Structure 1
Amino acid sequence: MLFLPIFQLLLSFFTSPLTPTSAAAAKPNIVVILANDLGYDDLGSYGAKDLRTPNMDALVKNGMRFTNFYANSSVCSPTRAALLSGKYPDLVGVPGVIRTHADDSWGYLNPKAVLLPQILKNAGYQTALVGKWPLGLTAPNLPNQKGFDYFHGFTGDMMDDYNTHLRWNNNYMRRNDQEINPTGHATDLSNRTKLI
């Protein structure tokens, strides 16, 4: 399984059955892509005339296309909290963006919140997150502690520079629970991640 290069990929998780038994083989692979600031018609497959998005268009052509969908927020943390918990973001403690400085942070993911990767793991899936995780900077709200077997990405709300990967001079780039300092543009790093 190779992660396809995808334009502006900021969050994705890939799941696959743990064992090749007949019951596991019947389970589908699941890929969820959440891109920050992507408008409805910012993909060629949704009508964009000024952008070329062949990889995303191929996924739309061969996957499921949503034409009527509601986002619970216009910003990263609550949107992800809602998508991963299946609840309104306020109900899991994330009414706004979780940030570095407490006086400018708008929430704290309730440690008791059950997220989709935890449910999928209980169903025999392996889970991975590549990209952005703005749902917690410390334990117990880090990706590996919330059900992801593998994490490669950024735990902060945004980067000050996509080449230095810093936010307020903090390095939030991680591979699982280890701080990393890769070189290159953040989007390119996500696109090159292999999940095998």
Structure 2
Amino acid sequence: MLRPVCHKTDEHTSYLQALDDFGIAELLAKLSNYCEQQEQQTLAALLISQLTQSLDAELVASYLSALAPSLAEGIALNRQDLFPRIINQKFSASSVDLPDDFPTTAKTPRFLYGDKLRWIGSDTDWGTAIGRFYSFAPHLCCWSWCYLIWLSKDSLNAAWTSADIAWEEDLEALEGEPVYD
């Protein structure tokens, strides 16, 4: 039996809506900047597979607890509302404990005390690493090194503060400075 054309169109529209609702369309659009359509689909499938295999039960539980207040109040959240709230969720010390195997599995810090550093891509802020600490980075959803930077007197922000902190991923060595990987 042949289906009417409009039924096929409705199915196609529903399919496209599902791709959009689950962020697949956005993922494919971003991948289109790097590769051809066939490669996009293969790479998207690989990325989704890796995400599925690497899901962390504690992290999922933290995300669900971040959503709980809105869901309890019956507030419908769309993706645009949801992701910023989850990604920027501030985890309390009770929700994220220092890893049991610290410092054994902590990655080696890239920078040492005294290293001259700047924020990646910034020509206005730089300084000297005077300290670091290992902490849970909510924006990365993992543990990472955070550095205390004594700002150069010529740094733009030195006008109102003498020191600042930055995550390791946001810093780079100034030209000619060694990086310890």
**Does TM-score exceed 0.5, indicating one fold?**
no
Bigger Rg over Cα: 2
Shorter-chain TM-score tier: under 0.3
Q: Is the helix fraction higher in 1 or 2? A: 2
TM-score by length of 2: 0.27
